[in-house]
Amino acid sequence: MRACVELAKDWRTDRYLRRLEAIMAVCDKEVSLILSGTGDVIEPEDGLIGIGSGGNYALAAARALIDTDMGPEDIVRKSLKIAADICVYTNDNIVLEKI
Residue 90 amino acid letter: T
The reply to whether 80 and 64 lie within a common domain is yes
The reply to whether 38 and 8 lie within a common domain is yes
Nearest-angstrom CA–CA distance, 90 and 55: 9
Count CA atoms within 13 Å of residue 62 on its CB side.
21
The reply to whether 66 and 37 lie within a common domain is no
pLDDT value for 34: 93
The reply to whether 38 and 55 lie within a common domain is no
Would you write out the chain's pLDDT as a tens digit for each of its 99 residues?
888 888 888 888 888 777 788 889 998 888 999 998 788 899 998 889 988 888 888 888 888 888 888 888 888 888 888 888 888 888 888 888 887
The reply to whether 35 and 80 lie within a common domain is no
Q: The domain containing residue 95 runs over which residues?
A: 50-99
pLDDT value for 33: 94
Determine if the pTM surpasses 0.75: no
The reply to whether 54 and 99 lie within a common domain is yes
Q: Which helix (H) or strand (E) holds 13?
A: helix 2-13
- The pair phi, psi for residue 41, each rounded to 5°, is -125, 110
For the chain, the domain total comes to 2
Nearest-angstrom CA–CA distance, 92 and 18: 30
pLDDT value for 36: 85
